[in-house]
Every structure is written in C-alpha cells, then in structure tokens.
Chain A
Amino acid sequence: MHKLIWGFLAVTFMIPIWAFANQPDPFMRTWSKTDWVSEIKALPIQSAGRLKPFDTFSREAFDLFVGKEKFRGKESYELVLSILFEPQVWQEIQFIQISHQELRKDLALDQTRQLYSPKELMHAPRMMPLFQELDAKQRAEEKLDPYFQAVLRLANQMAFLQQLVSGGAIRVIPPNPSQAMESDTWLSFSQFTDEQKLRFALLPAGFTSDKQETREKLAEYITKFKDLARQNNPNLYPSDFDMKLEVHFNALRPFRVAWILALVASIFIGFSIYGRPSFYKFGMAFFLVSFFIQTYGFFLRCWIAGRPPVSNMYESIIFVAFGSMLFGLIFELIYKKKLIALASLIFAVISLIISDNVGSVMDDGIHPLESVLRSNMWLTVHVLTITLGYAAFALSLVYGNMGLIPYLFTGKESKHMGFRDLAFFSYRAVQVGVILLAAGTILGGVWADYSWGRFWGWDPKETWALIALLGYLALIHARFRGLVGHFGFLAGCVVAFMGVLMAWYGVNFVLGQGKHSYGFSTGGVSYVATYCSLQLLVIAWAIYQKKKSAKS
C-alpha cells in the first residue's frame, strides 16, 4: 500500500519525458489518416499475466476508470494513448468513476457527479486513511463489504493510472533471451535500450504532433517499433494473427450480436405461434445464425484464452445460454413445437443481455486461471457437463413459466397452441438435466479425487449441486407416483431451479466459502432475491387461480 500511495503522489508530480507543454483537448483530436488504428490496436502488450493486444489493454483500462469501453465518443485505445503521452491534460479531466454514494460523501466530493478528475481526488482528505484501512482488511483476509469494494476499485484505479502515467504498465518489448532466463516479465520504457527508447519516443511524437505530416506517419512509427520489439526476442513475440484475432473478437462482440439476433428470432417465432405460421422459417433462420455466432464466439474465446470458457460467472452464463440454444435446437428438430424454440430464445436473450450489461458484477475480461484450475481434462469435462445440465434446467424453468401462464389467467390448463405439451417438454428437459448434473457432480468427484485424493469433501459448491439435483429427483419421483400432475410439475420446475441458482450463483456470491473461491465475487444479490420472490408470487397466484376455478 505504501507503494500505492507514493505512486499516487507521482501521478501529479511526475511528468514523463515525452510530455509536452501544450494543452490539447484529447476529445477534439481529428485524424486525416486512420491507417495507424489497426496497427496500434494489434500491438502486443503484457498486462495482468497475459499477452494481449493494445486494444484489449485499453478497453480494460477504461472499463476500470469509467466503467465503459468508450468515453465521450472516443474509443479507448486513443484515450489511453493520450493518457500515456500527455498525462498533464488528464489531471483535470473527470474520468474516474466512483459509483458508491457513501464513498463519494466520505471523500467530500461533488455529489452530483460520478466521475472525478485525478486532481479532485488528490485533494480528497479521507482517501489515504481509507486506503490504509483497506490495506489492513486485505492483510487480515477479511471479506470486503460493498463500501470497501468501492474503495478497492478506487485504489486500483489510482494505482493503474499511476502505472500508465509512469509508463510502468506499458510492457511492450519481450525480455531478450538472456533476460528471459531470469524473468518472463516484459520490459517497460525504463528498461528499454537507447535504440528502443528512441523508436518508442516516435509514438508520442507522432501522436501529439501539431503537424499533419508527422501525424500521418504514426502507422509507420508503430510498425517500426513493433519490428524492433519483435527482434528483441522473436520466440516470445506473439503472431500478428493472434493479436488481430483478439481485436476482431473485441470489435465483433459476438455475444451481443447473438442476443440481438435471438431477440429478432423470438419475435418471428412468437408471431408464427400467434397466427402467422409462415414466420416460423424466418425465426428459425435467425435462431440458427445466432447459434452459429455464439459457436464462433466460443471458438474465438477459447483460441484467445487457450482454454475452455469455464473460469467465472460471465463465462458460465454465456455457456449456459449456448447450451439452452443447443438443447432447444435438438428438441425443436425432434418435436417441431414452436414453443420449444421460443423458450430457448427467451432464456438465451435474457441471460446474454444480463451478461452483456452488468459488467460491474461479472467481469467479461479474459484472465489467466487460478492455479487450482490450471489442470486437466477432468476439470473441463466436469464443469462443462454441469453447466450444460444448468442449461437443460434453465429450459425446464422457461417451459414451467410458460406452462403456468394459462393457469395465471384461467386457473385451468390451456388446450391451445401446444401449452399442454409444455409439461412433457419440461419433463424431458429435467431428464436431460438430471443426467448431466448427476454425471457432472460425479465427474467433479473424480476430478477432486484425481487432484487431491478426496472424492467428496462437502464443499458448498458440490453440496449445492447435490441439493439442486435432489430437488429435481424429488420432483421426478413425485411425478412417477402421481403426487404431482402437470401443474405441479411445471411449478416444481420453477421452484427447483432456485436450487440451481443457489449452486450456480449463490455459493459464489452469497455464501462466499469453500474451494471454488476463485469464482467468488459480490453484487446482484438483491436482483436475484427479487427474481425468486417474483417467481414464488407467480406460483402462489397460479395456485390461487387454480383453486378458484376448481370450486366453480
């Protein structure tokens, strides 16, 4: 923390050698030629344990500073360059987000805004004591409450800003072979050779110059610097293809495209159920394209990360959405009932929108894995099986809710539009889910046994997976016996999914205990609680309506 505080002071007092005296407005800068953009975006940089293109680096930076990847209409790569090359301008720019109201109050900041300039924060009196308190809490490994999470974010913002301004974060040249024997950390400006320094200095010169001709040469400067950087250790330098692929992934945002397409598909299919059968084809076409884009997105993400998408909440949500589309497609091909496809689409759209929009709770960045997860096939198989099981249960949840709709209004089963089939489909989905969750939980045991010689350890995550499984088993057995009918099964699917939610979300975000702690985080608890109470209300209302209609 000491380092951090001194670093913070350095934000104001240290001005790197490439800083110039003029005070340009970074948001007004225009470019006559933009050929340099693709070059700078694909420039490899080492940050947070991973080699990534500058594009990803600067998106993550602005995600941290502002909470968005774009700021005042400018893309982050240009803004990060501006912070790097003309830091003095950024002292006055309000771009550091503090969204926690209490914290803003405690720091005696202007309450009408959420964004503050480094200079304003510099003069906030309570900041240092808060950082010290945070430091103490982290050392005691205490769980941070939302307030201190906000302090932590602020500390990270300041530390990262300091690293940017001092150039320490800009690790763009691989260590040469003899340095690489010592450490695999890439070099930042102060470690460059004179030649490398000169080449690098052309970048700020080109970027900040007043002369149009100089600025048009920026692309050339970047390419030349890149060649020089590569020369330092060609073996460690990533290929242009890999970098461009990640830039492409960032620009494409496949999972956003996928939910938009899925939304269109669901509208078409909705109409096809409601009297326009001819729309079905269009709907399925959009369904397929959306599914294809998701598949492509996973392919890219796996390629970039070098591992399957199993590490955090964000990845599991997009994977469950993918799984629900997959099962929906299979069921749709077998049974040809439009409601099946619609249910998958609804779930995929909702979950993809959530994952796309709550970046504060779910980090969509690609990060290196915790060491415990760096393993083998068993882990991957175990997690993917369980997540696919969640997907099947998610489908049964949507079928359950759809099937309850007629009861909500009439208290009776509807014979129209295939609503009666839903009980059967939800049963099928539960069957698929039970197999996958049972197999996945057992595979988890196999992995645990392989990895630490313990098949079952009552870890909350595995216990809750078992509880969720037990919930569905109770439901299935009740159905065998005839203890629940169509209505009971549909309602049961809705209730049993809360077990899945607890295993999937609750253990990481509410309980916060156990071995699966690498996925731990906080946030969103009130939303999930609201969702669960709404679902219970829906069921209660349906039961009430059913009782009423049975009487009459």
Chain B
Amino acid sequence: MFWKIANKIFNGLASLELAVINIIILAIALAAGTIYESKYGAAVASQVVYRSWWMQVLLWLFILNLSASAMSRLPWKRHHIGFLITHLGIIVLLLGSWIQQRHGIDGIVALAPGETSKQVRIEENVLYIFRALPQSNYELVLDKPLHFDLRSKFEKTLELSLESPTTKEALPEAKILRYYPIAERVVRAEDVAVGKGASAIKLRLEGSRANFSDWMFLQELKGTNREIGPARIRFQKNKPTKEEGMDKPTLFIYPKNQKDLGIVVTNKDGRQTDMGTVVLGKLRPLGWMDFGLVVEDYRPSAIPVADYYSVEKAPPGAQPIEALELELGQEKVWLELGASAQVSSGDSLYYIQFTKKRVDLGFDLKLNRFDIGYYPGTNKAKTYTSQVSVLDKTHLISMNEPLHYNGFTFYQASYETDEEGKPIVSVLSVNYDPGRVIKYFGSLMIVFGIISMFYFKPVYSGRSKIFMKKDKGENHA
C-alpha cells in the first residue's frame, strides 16, 4: 500500500504534466514580477516576487520535478545523455544562484575623490542600537535586520529585545511603532523658552518659476540662506549693512524684537531697493520676475520638530524618505533611513542607527579620481572612469571594465552630482559571488545538453510510443 502511494507520488513528481504546469506558473509569476517592478520599483518586486518564499517553493518543486523525471528514466541509456545534461545543468545553475543568494554580497560603495572605505552597503535595512559605556566606549545591544513590506505602511508594534554582551541587568524596553516605506517629512516650529531655541519664520514664496512654503530657523552666527535660482533669501540676526548682498539679489529678513521682523531687499548691484517692517500674512511683491513673498508666521524662540506622514508617492522633486518611529524606554523618536539619533533612558545613553546594512570588505578601497569622457561635441557620456587604490596599488575601473580583487568585483555603476551637475561621488557596485563557477558550469551543461538533445538523438524515442508515431508521421509527411 505504502509503496503504491509512494510510487504514485513519485510518478506525479516526475511527470511532464507537472513540468508544464510548473513552467507556466513560473512564467506567469515572473511576468507579474516585472509589472510589479515597473509600478513599485526593483526593491518591492524583489521582496514580493523574486525573493519571496513561494518563489523558493516553486523553484524547489522545479528541482524536485527535474530530479524525479531523471530518476524515472533509470537505467539511463545513451539517448538520455542530452536530456540528463540539460536538466542536471538547470539544477546546477539554480544551486549556484542559491549559494549566491545565501552567501553572496551585492552592494555598493559610494566614494568622493580622496575618500577611503572598507565597507560595502547592501540592500537590506538594519537597526543598530549602541549603549554608551563609561570610558566613552559603546557596546552593540541590538543588530536587527528589518524586512518590512515595502508596499504598505506598518503601524503595529514590533517589540525589540535589547541585550548587552557585558551585563545581565535589564535594558529598557524598545519597540518600533511605525514604519513608512515612503514618508513625507513636515517640519513645524515648536515654541520653547527664550534662549533654548532659535528665531523661526515661516515663508511662502509664490511665483511661476518656484513655489514653496517652509520654516526657516535662524543660525545665530552665520545666518540662514535659501537660494532661489539667481536670487537669495537670507534670514540673519541683524539688519544688513550696505556692503552685504553684493553678489546676488538678496532679500534680508531679521528679527527686530520679539514681535517684529525687518526686511531689506537688494538688487543685483547690491543697492538696497526696499526696506521696512514685515506685516505677517501680507503678500509682498519682490520685483524679481513675478515673485511674491508672504511671511506667514514668526516665532522668536522655537525648535524644529519633524512630523512624518505615510504617502503613496514622494512629492515631486523630493527624494523619497523611508522612516520609522522607535520607542526606547520613555522616549519616542523618528528615524529616517541613513540617520541616527541619541536617546537617554535610565542612566544610560543610547545611540540608534537606522541604515542600510554594511559588510566589511577586509581591505581599504580608496578613490583617487573620477572622470567622465564625452562623445565629441556633446554632453553624452562616453566613458566613466574611477581610479582607485587597494593596498597602495592603483587600478582603473570603467564601464564594462571592472576590478576583480579578492573575490570581489567592483563595477562602475553610476555617480552623484552636485547642484551644478558636476560629478562629486563615484558609485561602484560591489559583488561577491561564491556560486559563480557553479553557475557557469550549469550554463555550459544546459547549452550543450540542448544541442545534443535536439540535434543528435530524439530523447523520448524509447518512451512515449504515441508521440513517436506522431513524430514519424510528421517526418514522413
């Protein structure tokens, strides 16, 4: 009885029907993945489809199906060779990529010329919490990879357990309260006692070329600037002297006292064309193009507080923000991806980092210089070249000419520019693939297998009699 059932299961697993169904499901799933990618981006598609648990199941079923069908043809004969090589090749290839997925590294290093790094940033969010020790040391009390669903906000509580490697004493409770895959940050001013905060004004600029409404906080020593194209808004401590505002048309705003703001406008020659006292909420034409300015609010002493809202899409022109809210002990804090915060609880100070995971390279990589070559007479880039040094030896990395070092591949992926479009940071993609040889071997097997299968010997000639007849019929037609 048992053998009968086992036999049935085995036959099912080895069947071509299962193969056909499996292939079709795989194809549909992958198609869905590409549509997902085009809608939500590569990270989401990878999370939801390509690296999901059910894709793993599907692939393992695929491997099972291939192995079972190979076993079902025992004892193997000569005409099975092509079939066996191909299907074993697929298994080998999948095995190679499985090894890569488990043990490989796929990340980036972004360096400005002259900068050195020994770490790779990889596509995985982590939360680190360090606890300050006496003797100005830190110990790691939490190292938590975060795998939130990138498509929707998370508003349930995720408990975190902090553990100190040195003491057994209880550490404060910590939990993630919220996680927003795409968040909008809105800054507001919160009044504080005089001397604890800074003067803040809320400005609204209206015009056909630019439009914004935002808080500006006064930096006592150097003042706060906001560039709007060829002109500048400057919030400073004192009334400007005649010499200030020489380099470009500037609108100066300064606190006169706890209630009033003064305003001075200079033109591009530095001449003061307008001055007076600001009336809150009143539109003031600036005389530069069609710009008008409204000072909406004035707080003599305030601190900036950021609120986060979950949004469908980053506002136009803004970088998308990924953010989470964390509670540690009594304190709550918002963290943007890539940012850190300090929180005190009990008598300890905690240092929290929400960041992309970093992996040690094991050696220092220094970027010496980065160059872009253009097609003659155009702005179209022809080549990108990073000159790097590893252990005092220099190497050139350019598009399609990566650096292979110590099992790592460094490839010229992209670059970042400053506001004027000048390249300032070279972005290298870094890969480490322990499954490479296996994958290549599998690939070779597949290609040679298919060739020998199709062109040297019909595989199924000994098996499917019905089809053989059909095949013959066709051949003779």
Interface 0/1 of A416-440, CB less than 8 Å to B: 0000110110010001001100110
Q: Mark A450-474, 1 if CB is under 8 A from B, else 0.
A: 1111111010100110110011011
B125 proximal to A (CB < 8 A): no
Q: Which of A44-52, A93-101, A216-224 contacts B (4 or more CB under 8 A)?
A: A44-52
Tell me whether A550 is interfacial, beta carbon within 8 Å: no
Residue B205 interfacial (CB < 8 Å): no
User: Is B27 a contact partner of A467 (Cβ separation < 8 A)?
Assistant: yes
Bound-complex Cα distance A481 to B475 (A): 18
B20 and A456 contacting across the interface, CB-CB below 8 Å: no
- In contact, A511 and B16 (Cβ under 8 angstroms): no
Query: Is A507 close to B, CB under 8 A?
Result: yes
Interface stretch of the complex, out of B35-43, B185-193, B195-203, B351-359: B35-43
Q: Would B17 and A483 count as touching, CB distance under 8 A?
A: yes
Q: Which of B152-160, B255-263, B280-288, B379-387 is near enough to bind chain A?
A: B379-387
In the complex, A478→B439 CA distance in Å?
Answer: 27
Name the residue of chain B whose CB is nearest to the CB of A471.
B27
Residues of chain B within 8 A of A512, CB atoms compared: 38
Q: How far is the CB of A124 from chain B (nearest CB, A)?
A: 18
Interface size on B, residues (CB 8 A): 67
In B16-45, which residues have CB < 8 Å from any A CB? 16-17, 19-20, 23-24, 26-27, 30-31, 33-35, 37-38, 42, 45
Taking CB atoms, residues of chain A closer than 8 Å to B462 are none
* Contacts known (A171-B377, A438-B447, A467-B31); A423 close to B431, Cβ less than 8 A: no
A504 to chain B, nearest CB (A): 14
Tell me how far the C-beta of A295 lies from the nearest C-beta in chain B, rounded to whole angstroms. 26
Most chain A CB inside 10 Å of its own CB: which residue of B19, B209, B374, B400: B400
Among B50, B402, B474, point to the contact of A453 (Cβ < 8 A): B402
Please tell me if A482 contacts chain B, counting CB pairs below 8 Å.
yes
CB–CB A48/B467 < 8 A? no
Interface residues of chain A: helix, strand, loop or mixed (majority): helix
CB atoms of A442 and B447 under 8 A apart? yes
Do B443 and A511 touch (CB < 8 A)?
no
Closest Cβ of chain B: how far from A375's Cβ, in Å? 4
Contact residues in B for A184 (Cβ distance below 8 Å): 376-377
Judge whether B114 is part of the interface by a CB distance below 8 angstroms. no
Cβ-defined contact, A434 with B450, below 8 A = yes
State the Cβ distance, A140 to closest chain B Cβ, in Å. 6
Q: How far is the CA of A376 from the CA of B27 in the complex (A)?
A: 31
Question: Is A514 located at the chain interface by the 8 A CB criterion?
Answer: yes
CB of B451 within 8 A of chain A? yes
Complex partner residue of B399 from A375, A438, A464, A470, CB under 8 angstroms: A375
Give the contacting residue for B35; candidates A46, A427, A452, A511; CB below 8 A.
A511
Q: Is the CB of B383 within 8 A of A477?
A: no
- Taken together as a complex, chains A and B put the C-alpha atoms of A375 and B384 apart, in Å, by 12
Q: Is B446 an interface residue, CB under 8 A from the partner?
A: yes
Rounded to whole Å, the gap between the CB of B109 and the closest CB of chain A is 13
- For the complex, is A445 an interface residue (Cβ under 8 Å from B)? yes
Tell me whether A470 and B27 are in contact in the complex, defined as CB-CB below 8 angstroms, given that A47-B377, A185-B377, A451-B400 are known contacts. Answer: yes
Contact yes or no, B454 A48, CB < 8 A: no
Is B433 a contact of A481 with CB atoms below 8 Å? no
Known A140-B316, A452-B413, A455-B97; judge A481-B16 contact (CB<8 A): yes
B459-477 vs A: 1/0 string, CB under 8 Å? 1100010110010001101
- A469-515: which have CB < 8 Å to B? 470-471, 473-474, 477-483, 485-486, 499, 502, 507, 511-514
- State A452–B459 Cα separation when bound (angstroms): 38
Known contacts A455-B439, A513-B37; is-contact A477 B16 (Cβ 8 Å) = yes
Closest chain-B Cβ to A402's Cβ sits at a distance in Å of 15
Residues of A within 8 A of B402 (CB): 450-453
Closest Cβ–Cβ distance, residue B411 to chain A (whole Å)? 4
Query: How far does the alpha carbon of A486 sit from the alpha carbon of B477 in the complex, in Å?
Result: 13
Q: Which residues of A contact B440 (CB under 8 A)?
A: 446
A123 in the interface, Cβ–Cβ < 8 Å? Answer: no
Interface string of B431-463 (1 = CB under 8 A from A): 101001001100100110011001000011000
State A466–B93 Cα separation when bound (angstroms): 14
Contact B433 A455 (CB under 8 A): yes
Q: Which of A46, A474, A485, A499 contacts B376 (CB 8 A)?
A: A46
Asked whether B375 lies within 8 Å of A474 as measured between CB atoms, the reply is no
Residues on A with beta carbons closer than 8 Å to the beta carbon of B31 = 464, 467, 502
Shortest CB distance B226–A (Å): 19
A100 to chain B, nearest CB (A): 23
User: From B373, which residue of chain A is reached at the shortest CB distance?
Assistant: A371
Q: Which residues of the other chain, A, contact B37 by a CB distance below 8 angstroms?
A: 458, 460, 511, 513-514
Query: How long is the Cα–Cα vector from A371 to B374 in the complex, in angstroms?
Result: 9
In the complex, what residues of B have CB within 8 A of residue A431's CB? 454
Closest to B376 in A: A184
Could you tell me the distance between the alpha carbons of A415 and B475 in the complex, rounded to whole angstroms? 14
Cα–Cα, bound, A460→B27 (Å): 13
A458 to B466, CA, bound (A): 39
Q: Is A119 an interface residue (CB 8 A)?
A: no
User: What is the minimal beta-carbon distance from B423 to any residue of chain A, in angstroms?
Assistant: 13
- Asked if A424 meets B450 with Cβ closer than 8 Å, knowing A455-B433, A477-B20, the reply is no
Q: For window 416-435 of chain B, which residues contact chain A by CB distance below 8 Å?
A: 429-431, 433
Are B447's CB and A480's CB within 8 A?
no
**Is A449 engaged at the interface, CB distance under 8 Å to the other chain?**
yes
CB distance from A189 to the nearest CB of B (A): 15
Is there an interface contact between A452 and B376, defined as CB atoms closer than 8 Å? Answer: no
Q: Are B26 and A477 in contact (CB under 8 A)?
A: no
Residues of A within 8 A of B33 (CB): 458, 463
Q: For the complex, what is the distance from the CA of A479 to the CA of B16, rounded to whole Å?
A: 10
Give the docked Cα–Cα distance between A374 and B209 (Å): 39
Question: Which of B46, B382, B450, B460 makes the CB contact (< 8 A) with A458?
Answer: B46
User: CB within 8 A of A49: which of B209, B377, B443, B477?
Assistant: B377
Does A499 lie within 8 Å of B27, measured CB to CB?
yes
Q: Give the residue of B46, B376, B404, B459 whose beta carbon is less than 8 angstroms from that of A186.
A: B376
Q: Does B166 contact A (CB under 8 A)?
A: no
The yes or no answer to A239 lying at the interface (CB within 8 A) is no
CB atoms of A442 and B380 under 8 A apart: no
Residue A132 interfacial (CB < 8 Å): yes
Chain B residues positioned under 8 Å from A146 (CB to CB): none
The answer for the CA separation of A458 and B404 in the assembled complex, in Å, is 23
Residue B409 interfacial (CB < 8 Å)? yes
Whether the pair A454, B474 counts as a contact (CB closer than 8 A) is no
- A185 x B383 contact (CB < 8 A): no
**Is there contact, CB below 8 Å, between A483 and B20?**
yes
Check if A372 is an interface residue, CB within 8 A of chain B: yes
* Neighbouring B residues of A275 by C-beta, 8 Å: none
Quick check: is A129 within 8 A (CB to CB) of the other chain?
A: yes
Which residues of chain B come closer than 8 Å to A474, judged between CB atoms? 20, 23-24, 27
> Closest chain A residue to B374 by CB distance?
A49
Q: Does A16 contact B (CB under 8 A)?
A: no
User: A368 within 8 Å of B by Cβ?
Assistant: yes
A483–B16 Cα gap in the complex (Å)? 9
Interface mask (B36-79 → A, CB under 8 Å = 1, otherwise 0): 01100010011000100000000000000000000000000000
Q: Is B165 an interface residue (CB 8 A)?
A: no
A544 vs B470: C-alpha distance when bound (angstroms): 24
A470 touches B475 (CB 8 A): no
Given A435-B447, A445-B443, A451-B400, 16 more A-B residue pairs with CB atoms under 8 Å apart are A49-B374, A171-B377, A372-B400, A424-B477, A446-B443, A449-B436, A452-B413, A453-B408, A463-B34, A467-B34, A470-B27, A482-B467, A485-B470, A512-B38, A513-B34, A513-B37
12 contacts between A and B (CB under 8 A): A374-B400, A435-B450, A435-B454, A450-B400, A453-B409, A464-B34, A467-B27, A470-B23, A477-B20, A481-B467, A482-B467, A482-B470
5 nearest A-B pairs in the assembled complex, by CB-CB distance: A453-B409, A49-B375, A453-B431, A452-B411, A375-B400
Chain B residues with CB under 8 Å of chain A are 16-17, 19-20, 23-24, 26-27, 30-31, 33-35, 37-38, 42, 45-46, 50, 97, 100, 106, 208-209, 316-317, 374-378, 380-384, 399-400, 402, 404, 408-411, 413, 429-431, 433, 436, 439-440, 443, 446-447, 450-451, 454, 459-460, 464, 466-467, 470, 474-475, 477
